[in-house]
């Protein structure tokens, strides 16, 4: 599972992430709780239980596991959206969480305005966005609609533009969550090509996808999560076989 540089890109160290459920967001409920002297522990759920792993620079890792096993939670802890309750996460270099493409898109803005806004949200400077604007638009294949408001786009066009911005941010670490199923066949192939070329450039990638065959072929390492615990860390095809109950 080696990489050329040998330096760590991501270190996850004894990470624990819990979620608390406060079902009613009102003061009345809270006051009632205090009066009854109930602690909130009853409604706690541990999504990640003591997860430790190290990913080297240049590695392409498939994060595998069934729904609710904690894949998205782990990616959000790595991207900084969620803060660990215990343990820690370390990252080297700039990081882009393609957790959900188009998160910062606004329907009332034009495609062009959204490219600038999202480029900036994903950490690009004004000069960087200007420099890559043409490439982003070309990649998304929506040239003639770029000055139209995004709310008039088809969902495919919207996702293509969002994905195009995301893959042009040029970070060192990419976190990809369920976004490779974007758009039609040809565009999917294009996305995959882009991911492969990022990989060839030596970027570090952590990929979550429902298309198990695709990620197994794409990645050089597979990590299996079950109920918030890492249960397997091996060659990806072997991990997929175990998931399918074949091994």
Ligand X SMILES: Nc1ncnc2c1ncn2[C@@H]1O[C@H](COP(=O)(O)OP(=O)(O)O)[C@@H](O)[C@H]1O
Binding site for other proteins (CB under 8 A): 7-8, 11, 13-14, 19, 22, 25-27, 30, 76, 78-83, 86-92, 95, 97, 99-100, 103-104, 106, 108-109, 113, 116-117, 120-122, 125-126
Is residue 38 exposed (0-12), middle (13-18) or buried (19+ Cβ within 10 Å)?
exposed
- Choose the stretch contacting ligand X; rule: CB under 6 A; options: 34-42, 70-78, 85-93, 100-108: 70-78
CA–CA dist 219, 216 (Å, integer): 6
| Least Cβ distance, residue 170 to other proteins (angstroms) | 16
Least Å from the CB of residue 242 to other proteins:
30
In this structure, the dihedral spanned by the alpha carbons of residues 197, 202, 205 and 209, taken in order and rounded to 10 degrees, is: 30
For 69, left (φ over 0), alpha (ψ -120 to 50), or beta?
alpha
Say if residues 204 and 173 touch (Cβ distance below 8 Å). yes
Nearer to other proteins, 7 or 189 (CB): 7
Q: Give me the 158-197 binding string for ligand X, x by CB under 6 A, dash otherwise.
A: ----------------------------------------
- Using CB under 6 A, which residues numbered 39 to 68 contact ligand X? 45, 47, 65, 67-68
Write down the least CB distance from residue 99 to other proteins, Å: 5
Query: Cα separations (Å) of 58 from 77, 147, 233?
Result: 20, 37, 17
Say if strands 8-20 and 204-208 run parallel, antiparallel, or are unpaired: unpaired
Identify what 69 binds: ligand X, Mg ion, other proteins, none; CB under 5 to 8 Å per kind: ligand X
Residues 6+ apart with CB under 8 A from 216: 62, 222, 236, 237, 239, 240
Q: Which residues pair with 206 in a beta bridge?
A: 61, 175
The answer to whether 73 contacts ligand X (rule: CB under 6 A) is yes
Partner interacting with residue 196 (select from ligand X, other proteins, Mg ion, none; CB below 5-8 Å by kind): none
**213 binds, options other proteins, ligand X, Mg ion, none, Cβ within 5 to 8 A by partner type:** none
Spatial CA neighbour of 205 closest among 81, 63, 80: 63
Residues lying near Mg ion in the complex (CB under 5 A) are found at 72
Residues in contact with ligand X by the rule CB under 6 A = 19, 45, 47, 65, 67-73
């Amino acid at each position: 599972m080696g990489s050329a540089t040998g330096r760590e890109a991501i270190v996850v160290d004894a990470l624990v992430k819990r979620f608390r459920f406060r079902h009613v967001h009102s003061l009345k409920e809270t006051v009632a709780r205090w009066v009854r002297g109930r602690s909130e522990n009853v409604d706690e759920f541990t999504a990640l239980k003591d997860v430790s792993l190290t990913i080297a620079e240049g590695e392409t890792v498939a994060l595998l596991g069934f729904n609710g096993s904690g894949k998205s939670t782990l990616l959000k802890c790595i991207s900084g959206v969620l803060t660990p309750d215990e343990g820690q996460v370390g990252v080297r270099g700039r990081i882009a969480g393609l957790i959900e493409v188009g998160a910062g898109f606004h329907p009332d803005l034009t495609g062009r305005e959204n490219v600038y806004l999202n480029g900036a949200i994903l950490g690009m400077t004004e000069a960087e966005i200007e420099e890559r604007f043409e490439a982003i638009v070309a990649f998304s294949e929506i040239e003639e609609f770029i000055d139209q408001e995004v709310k008039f786009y088809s969902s495919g066009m919207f996702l293509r533009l969002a994905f195009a911005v995301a893959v042009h941010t040029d970070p060192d670490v990419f976190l990809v969550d369920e976004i490779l199923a974007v758009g039609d066949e040809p565009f999917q192939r294009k996305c995959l090509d882009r991911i492969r070329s990022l990989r060839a450039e030596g970027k570090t990638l952590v990929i979550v996808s429902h298309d198990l065959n695709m990620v197994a072929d794409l990645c050089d390492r597979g990590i299996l999560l079950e109920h918030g615990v890492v249960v397997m860390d091996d060659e990806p095809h072997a991990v997929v076989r175990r998931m399918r109950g074949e091994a």
